Structure 1
Amino acid sequence: MPTIQQNIPMLYYIIRSYSAKKNAFLLGKFYVKFTVNHIALILGLSNRGREFQFERIPLSNRKHKELARELADLTAEDSSPTLESRRINCLIRYVLAVLFFPLKGLKVPTCLLDFNGLEDFAAVNWPKAIHTFLHSHFASMNEIAIREEMTNLGYLEGCSVIIVVSKST
């Protein structure tokens, strides 16, 4: 997956239209809610399972590119009986770090590297985790957007593709 450049003016507009109190975006005269069910529907994930508390710290010494390289290396022919489980674990870590919880600097939090196997991944309520992370990040960025100039807004962390999809539906 290539790194996607964020459109700062669009990001500024979206963040400024967000109300943390209402957990909704102001579109014209109406507020449009941003819910866990929206995320579940957009990503095709079930809205059930154990809660996952995303922890930024400690950051591992790994970056997105290293996860991608590890995944590519595992696609090579290999006769190891554990190859398939290693591929799945690597893909899970990659999706978590790159799609669900991307951070500025493309660093990978250690908490995302702890998932092993599909059962472990399937046990978590990912829509809730993504929603909680984005809600807290929207709220803090909204405060910055109100106080600061557009150029000081920073990088929107988290699954920002959800905003684009949810605002266009």
Structure 2
Amino acid sequence: MPQNVPLIYMLLSNWDMKTESFIIKGQSLEFTSDEVALLIGMPNRGIIFDVGNARSTRKTSNNIRHDIERMDNTTPMDDLVKGFLLYLLSNIFYPMTNFRIPSSILKVVKNVESFNKYNWPESIRSFLVQEFNIVATKKAKGSALGYVNDFVMIVIVSIIIFFQLIFS
């Protein structure tokens, strides 16, 4: 998905690390797990999943995408579910700068039954807050901002809609 760099820059320029919120036109928009739950349609309860800085696997995001493209109606349902979960976690919720798949994600996929025990909204929010803080720190130092997590695009859309509702 191509990124709208000026829009991302504007949004992240308004990130306040202390309050974990966006300050836009003097209004504070707190970034909570409830907002993420609304965006992804998953319950805001359960154990926090920490993608961590664990060793990454040799598999890349592109490998996952290609594996899914090769699936067809003869692919066993268990493999379809695992492929979808792997794609969801590695390419949408937790894409990494090196396109590698953290081993923590593979542990979830190997035990599909464990997927529902995690609080994905809070886990994703925590991951994104770390990403936003890294960008805010780089911006404050005048460094290049670098890579921004792809899921931020969904957050941007929700924030724009929210502020249009408030200011219209």
What is the aligned partner in structure 1 of residue 165 from structure 2?
Answer: none
2:43 corresponds to? 46
TM-score by length of 1: 0.86
Partner of 1:77: 74
Residue 84 of structure 2 corresponds to residue 91 of structure 1: yes
Structural RMSD (CA):
1.7
Match 1:125 to one of 109, 119, 122: 119
| Cα contact 2:11–2:156 (8 A) shared by 1 | no
Structure 2 match to 1:12: 9
Q: 1:58 to 1:158 in 2, by over 3 A?
A: farther
Dislocated runs of 4+, deviation >4 Å: none
**Local SS of the residue matching 1:88:** helix
* Aligned mates of 2:139, 2:73 — CA distance in 1: 46
Choose the corresponding residue for 1:136, options 109, 130, 133: 130
Question: For 1:105, what is the secondary structure of its paired residue?
Answer: coil
Give the distance between the partners of 1:97 and 1:9, measured in 2 at CA: 25
2 CA distance for matches of 1:121 and 1:49?
10
**Cα displacement (A) at 1:76:** 4.5
Of residues 61, 64, 72, the one that matches 2:61 is: 64
Q: Does 1:156 align with 2:148?
A: yes
Match of 1:104 in 2: 97
Q: Contact 1:51–1:129 at 8 Å: present in 2 too?
A: yes
Q: Which letter maps to 1:110?
A: S
Question: TM-score, length-normalised on structure 2?
Answer: 0.87
Equivalenced residues, count: 160
Gaps of 5+ in 1: none
Once the two structures are TM-superposed, the CA of residue 69 in structure 1 deviates from its matched residue by 1.7
Would the aligned equivalents of 1:18 and 1:25 in 2 still touch at CA under 8 Å? yes
Give the secondary-structure state (helix, strand or coil) at the position aligned to 2:98: helix
CA distance in 1, matches of 2:98, 2:3: 14
Quickly say closer, same or farther: Cα 1:6–1:14, change in 2 above 3 A: same
Task: State the Cα deviation string for residues 105-160 of structure 1 (Å, max 9, x = none).
Answer: 322111111123542211111001101111111112101112215xx110112621
